[in-house]
Amino acid sequence: MNLKQTITLSPDVISQEVSGETVLLDLQSENYFGLDEVGTRIWQLIKETSDLEAIYHTLLAEYEVSEERLQGDLNALLAEISSLGLVTLEQRA
C-alpha cells in the first residue's frame, strides 16, 4: 500500500449511514454496497480528507491493531472500492 496517495470519492456515489453501517449507492451502475462499522469509519475519513496517510494514522490511533494488519485491511478495502469505481486513488504530487 502506498500511503503517498490521495483518495477521492466518486461523484456518482451517495451514501447513507444506518445503525453504524453505511450503504453506498453507485448511481452509474445502480448497485448497492454495504460497509461494516470499520468500513464506515474509513468512508467517513475519506469524506473528511483525501490524504491516505492521514487516514491511516487516524485509524491506527483509534483502533487497537498492528500496523501490518491495518495496512492489509485498508489495502483490501481500498482495492475493492477502487475497482468498483467508488473511489479514485492517485499519487500525491
Q: What is the pLDDT of residues 12-66, one digit of tens each?
A: 999 999 998 999 999 999 999 999 999 999 999 999 999 999 999 999 999 999 9
> Considering the entire predicted model, what is its pTM?
0.90
Q: Among 84, 5, 2, which Cα is nearest to 39's?
A: 84
The domains of the chain are located at 5-86
Closest to 88 in 3D by CA, of 2, 9, 14, 29:
9
Q: For 77-93, what is the mean pLDDT?
A: 92
Amino acid at residue number 84: L
Does the pLDDT at position 8 exceed 80? yes
